[in-house]
């Protein structure tokens, strides 16, 4: 196993793989992990300096049941299956997740009339546990809801999850099971060949028998590198507001809007870190780097959020962010095998890729077999337990036994998020250390609280410089 970040890629036999997965978002990392069960030489190759640094770091973090997917689509099947697989995986590996359940709230008669149809759709998607709630039942469940909630559809099983730990868990388990992870390694050209394709990257050339495109927003551009033009990705921006932890008591469920002609609409949800999210917007753009927020977008969210949960607007906003969904003009994924090229495209993973990731990975394993890959026997993956970032389980600063074993777990560095020196040091010396301070925040929550690093920033940076990948040599090859 190895993680490389800088310098020339290994040469010769070392750079010849059975499968190269391009793109280490939640989808590519899940695929690499699933393939790592087999005696294959696998590389996971990523343009950025960290895993999960694209769309996978900026979403609403909901583990969807898929109750509202378009019945019969590949997406409907993989979201339903992915929900089951990721729920079990989260328990096994310690990824924070909370099965809060969702309420779809009807605010007018038209929306109320839609609820039974949504319940039928849920049934067609295999979810038979939804239930219609009266206005009184709704108010009892969510006492802080704004006036005018007429009814709701309750969807048990909808959950919130930590998206950062999910991607990191997949990639870590893949690497510990023998996958090579090459970061800062954008693939710029593909020279298809037999038995090996040659991938020209910024850091040298890799050879591979089979190729997987998990490039997210850039899946269409990568397809073009192998001569395919099957779809165009349009970035659909979603802006979100993160409210301070004092807002957490205002909401108990994931509050979903009733979808209308303008799309899924704006939701309010708790996070596993104890904050409350409001968003996302849905704006079709043509710039795949436009992850900034806009005053107009945020004002629109506040207006809508104020109607749903008026008291939310009195709370402080800790952060704002935006992510880009990979829309392709089709209400389904764009996953396709190209056996002649020994190539699988995993594109158009719109707004459900976090949930569906493990099911997508299983599906891709089958498609690679259709492309002639003989994966060989299956063996168990390296065992994994992830550090806990969630508020629903015990955090290190409260764990007397952990602190007794290592006092650094009792030494708080980031006071807003209660992040200890022990956690920061463990992240910096882990299998895949962060490439920068934002990656460290996604691994520990340090600098992610209400002061956004104003108080702890200097100390966190000093720790990064003392123990980070440049110093400990891990991942810095
Ligand atoms: C606002 C918003 C809300 C969402 N909410 C949810 C939700 O609640 N639940 C849910 O399940 N899903 C949600 N999603 C969807 C989910 O986040 C995505 O489906 C998922 O993150 C897509 O993962 P990915 O791995 O395909 O893409 P990415 O995470 O973008 O990863 C692709 C990677 O490929 C790399 N790459 C691209 N080109 C190259 C190249 N040439 N060489 C090397 N590397 C390359 C990129 O650097 C990137 O890291 C949401 C999305 C958004 C934007």
pLDDT band at 152 (very low <50, low <70, confident <90, very high): very high
Q: What is the pLDDT of residues 28-61, one digit of tens each?
A: 999 999 999 999 999 999 999 999 999 999 999 9
Q: What is the pLDDT of residue 473?
A: 57
Q: What is the pLDDT of residue 375?
A: 96
Residue 12 has pLDDT above 80, yes or no: no
Residue 141 has pLDDT above 80, yes or no: yes
Kindly tell me the sign of the dihedral angle through the C-alpha atoms of 255, 258, 263, 266. negative
Check pocket membership of 75 for ligand 1, CB cut-off 6 A. Answer: no
**Catalytic residue ranges:** 64
Kindly give the number of the ligand 1 atom that is closest to the alpha carbon of 280: 1
Residue 236 has pLDDT above 70, yes or no: yes
Q: Which of 26, 59, 235, 435 to mutate to test the pocket of ligand 1 (most atoms within 8 A of CB)?
A: 59
Residue 458 has pLDDT above 90, yes or no: yes
Q: What is the pLDDT of residues 99-110, one digit of tens each?
A: 999 999 999 999
Residue 259 has pLDDT above 70, yes or no: yes
Q: What is the pLDDT of residue 381?
A: 97
Please give the Cα distance from 141 to 139 (Å, whole number).
5
Question: What is the average pLDDT score of the chain?
Answer: 95
The residue written with tokens 């973090």 in the block is 61
Cβ(115)–Cβ(153) below 8 Å? yes
Q: Which of 52, 60, 240 to mutate to test the pocket of ligand 1 (most atoms within 8 A of CB)?
A: 60
Q: What is the pLDDT of residue 265?
A: 80
Residue 474 has pLDDT above 80, yes or no: no
What's the Cα-to-Cα distance from 396 to each of 200, 388, 420, 430, 434, rounded to whole Å? 43, 8, 7, 16, 20
Residue 395 has pLDDT above 80, yes or no: yes
CA 54 to ligand 1 centroid distance, Å: 5
Check pocket membership of 54 for ligand 1, CB cut-off 6 A. Answer: yes
pLDDT band at 475 (very low <50, low <70, confident <90, very high): very low
* Stretch 187-208: mean pLDDT: 96
Please give the Cα distance from 198 to 208 (Å, whole number).
7
Q: What is the pLDDT of residue 1?
A: 59
pLDDT band at 314 (very low <50, low <70, confident <90, very high): very high
Q: What is the pLDDT of residue 133?
A: 98
- Give the whole-number percent of the chain exceeding pLDDT 70: 98
Cβ(269)–Cβ(104) below 8 Å? no
Q: What is the pLDDT of residue 260?
A: 75
Q: What is the pLDDT of residue 300?
A: 96
Beta bridge partners of 243: 276, 317
Please give the Cα distance from 55 to 214 (Å, whole number).
12
CATH number of 98-160+234-326: 3.30.9.10
Q: What is the pLDDT of residues 330-363, one digit of tens each?
A: 999 999 999 999 999 999 999 999 999 999 999 9
DSSP secondary structure string for all residues of 386-451: PPP--SSS--GGG-HHHHHH-GGGG-EEETTTTEEHHHHHHHHTSSS--SSHHHHHHHH-TT-STT
What letter does residue 145 receive in the DSSP assignment? P
Q: What is the pLDDT of residue 472?
A: 62
Please give the Cα distance from 218 to 46 (Å, whole number).
12
Q: What is the pLDDT of residue 217?
A: 98
pLDDT band at 476 (very low <50, low <70, confident <90, very high): very low
pLDDT band at 268 (very low <50, low <70, confident <90, very high): very high
Check pocket membership of 103 for ligand 1, CB cut-off 6 A. Answer: no
Residue 14 has pLDDT above 80, yes or no: no
* Stretch 312-328: mean pLDDT: 97
Q: What is the pLDDT of residue 477?
A: 40
Beta bridge partners of 2: 180
CATH 3.30.9.10 spans which residues of the chain?
98-160+234-326
CATH 3.50.50.60 spans which residues of the chain?
2-57+163-232+330-370
pLDDT band at 10 (very low <50, low <70, confident <90, very high): confident
pLDDT band at 296 (very low <50, low <70, confident <90, very high): very high
pLDDT band at 469 (very low <50, low <70, confident <90, very high): confident
CATH number of 2-57+163-232+330-370: 3.50.50.60
Strand order in the sheet with 97-98: 62-63, 159-161, 97-98
Residue 315 has pLDDT above 70, yes or no: yes
Check pocket membership of 206 for ligand 1, CB cut-off 6 A. Answer: no
Cβ(116)–Cβ(132) below 8 Å? yes
């Amino acid at each position: 196993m190895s993680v490389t970040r800088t310098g020339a890629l290994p040469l010769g036999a070392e750079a010849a793989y059975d499968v190269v997965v391009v793109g280490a978002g939640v989808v590519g990392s899940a695929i690499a992990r699933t393939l790592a069960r087999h005696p294959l030489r696998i590389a996971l190759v990523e343009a950025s300096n960290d895993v999960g640094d694209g769309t996978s770091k900026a979403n609403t973090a909901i583990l969807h049941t898929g109750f509202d997917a378009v019945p019969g689509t590949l997406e409907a099947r993989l979201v339903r299956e992915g929900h089951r697989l990721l729920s079990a995986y989260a328990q096994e590996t310690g990824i924070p997740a909370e099965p809060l359940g969702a309420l779809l709230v009807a605010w007018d008669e038209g929306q109320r009339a839609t609820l039974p149809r949504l319940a039928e759709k849920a049934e067609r998607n295999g979810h038979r546990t939804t239930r219609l709630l009266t206005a009184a039942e709704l108010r009892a469940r969510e006492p802080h809801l704004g006036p005018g909630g007429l009814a709701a559809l309750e969807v048990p099983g909808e959950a919130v999850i930590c998206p950062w730990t999910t991607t990191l868990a997949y990639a870590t388990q893949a690497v510990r099971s023998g996958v090579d992870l090459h970061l800062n390694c954008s693939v710029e050209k593909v020279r298809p060949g037999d038995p090996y394709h040659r991938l020209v990257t910024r850091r040298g050339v890799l050879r591979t028998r089979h190729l997987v495109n998990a490039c997210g927003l850039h899946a269409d551009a990568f397809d073009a590198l192998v001569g395919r033009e099957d779809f165009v990705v349009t970035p659909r921006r979603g802006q979100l507001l993160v409210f301070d932890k004092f807002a957490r008591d205002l909401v108990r469920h994931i509050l979903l809007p009733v979808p209308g002609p303008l799309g899924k609409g704006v939701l309010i949800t708790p996070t596993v870190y104890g904050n409350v999210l409001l968003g996302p917007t849905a704006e079709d753009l043509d710039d795949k780097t436009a992850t900034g927020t806009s005053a107009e977008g945020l004002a629109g969210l506040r207006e809508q959020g104020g109607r749903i949960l008026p008291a939310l607007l009195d709370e402080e906003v800790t952060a704002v962010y935006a992510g880009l969904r990979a829309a392709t003009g089709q209400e389904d994924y764009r996953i396709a095998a190209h056996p002649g090229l020994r190539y699988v495209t995993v594109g158009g993973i719109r707004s459900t890729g976090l949930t569906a990731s493990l099911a997508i990975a299983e599906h891709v394993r089958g498609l690679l077999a259709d492309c002639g890959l003989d994966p060989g026997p299956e063996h168990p993956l390296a065992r994994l337990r992830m550090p806990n970032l969630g508020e629903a389980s015990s955090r290190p600063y409260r764990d007397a036994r952990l602190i007794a074993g290592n006092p650094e777990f009792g030494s708080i560095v980031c006071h807003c998020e209660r992040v200890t020196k022990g956690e920061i040091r463990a992240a910096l010396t882990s299998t895949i250390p962060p490439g920068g301070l934002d990656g460290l925040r996604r691994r520990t929550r340090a600098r992610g609280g209400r002061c956004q690093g104003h108080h702890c920033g200097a100390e966190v940076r000093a720790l990064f410089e003392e123990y980070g990948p440049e110093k400990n040599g891990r991942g810095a090859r």
